[in-house]
Structure 1
Amino acid sequence: MEDLSPTYLKCLLGGGYAVLIGVNWASLSGKLGAPNAEISKAYPSAVTPAGFAFSIWGPIFLLQGAGTIALLSNALPLEALRAVFPYWFVTWIWQNCWQASFVSLPLTDINSRKGKVFRTLLACACQLVAAQSSMTAAAQRLQTLEEQSLLRSMLLDFPSGVNAGWLSAASGIGLSLALQHWTRGDLMTPNRSACLLGAVGCYGAGVVSSLGQGSAWGFGLGYSCAVSWACFGITKTGSPEVVKKVARAGMGLFFLLGISCLVK
């Protein structure tokens, strides 16, 4: 990326964000197929948060839009643009791929189409993991920059953290759904769902502990807020009590981690 001109990078970044918003608008308006909410109802999971929790995508898009504008207008230095661009851009591509895959899921005759359903759900889970990894890599790259500012923390680190945190929760949901629709039978019992939720939480705690300190405190704060919000959403569903207990523990853990990012 070092040899690419700033103008070229800005065009790609602005274009990538415009496509992201366009794809999600098309999905919400039903132009790509059934809306995500309708598909989710057909594919429930013990670790899926209540519907209101998915409103977090609004703040994610707005925060990244603000960060994109700051980079395009030179409110943030060129080094920040070069650091963030490849990872945000790739994350948006993976999110768009997930959207295209998710809307292809059948809403009827699900049991008679297990092979297609499982392959599609597994592809969705892999795409979410790839998106989450790319956004987390953005935090790693931002940590290497000498320039530090509150503006960068709030418009680049924090949005990256919120997006990565929510994508980690979404990856857990995606994996749960794929395992539920395994062609040889449902592999997700309440206890296994709770273990999966706990594993995602432990992974997130490790990410925040390693990347949410120092100059990247905004990333840790955003990540903690997103995962805590996802856990709160799970406690408001009809999920098994063992899953809700793990979700409550996750809320407390990530609340403390978020506070630690602010203090340090």
Structure 2
Amino acid sequence: MKVVSLVPSITEALFDLGLTENEVIGRTKFCIHPYEKIKKVEIIGGTKNINIEKIKSLQPDLIIANKEENVKDQVEALMEDFKVMVTHVETVEDNYYLVKNLGNIFHQEEKAKAYNLKIYEVLNQTKINSPIKAAYLIWKNPYMTIGSDTFIHHILTETGFENSFKDKTRYPEITVEDLAETDIIMLSSEPFPFKEKHIDELKAFYPEKKIMIVDGEAFSWYGTHIAKCGEYFKELISEINSRP
């Protein structure tokens, strides 16, 4: 089966489940894992600006898209000519069924099962000692965070954090003043590439708060990625548990 993936984390999952560049024939420029394999796959644009004509030239049997990451009009245009699977992953349970369904579609049921078991193992392996309110920032100018109907929120919750903005939905804009009641401020490495200088900027407002860069892929990449983040989450939670 020839597949075009419009979703970086799903591209990674397809290769993790055993597909090769002979089957995954198209990807976005943001599909970066696994590097040695994806670099041989045709780039069909970005997640928000796909090249429909290039996809048509590839003649895939299946296109995999995502409700949140891709543009509705572009996906619907592809549906006129191709079979398109539109995914929507908000919870850990949603992710379980995504991986399971991909395993069924590509006859890799055992690999899918193993990844799902590993994901639950990773999420259950370490918990924070006591509830900690965390603000997870994904953007700057304006600052943006995550609400309760996002995958990131559910990963935060599974690892023991309380989302400071759980009463919000989607990706609300916030101000520095809105961070006053949170215990920890997490600056995601993506989609905005937060750096150490951005920690310093927030420290000017909140010198006593724990402010840290976190791996955006670990918190936001659904599919198989979390199965590979065990050590990362262990180290992160250990650092937070040992904070003064």
TM-score between the two structures when normalised by the length of structure 1: 0.20
In proportion to residue count, which structure has more strand? 2
Structure with more relative contact order (C-alpha pairs < 8 Å, separation 6 or more): 1
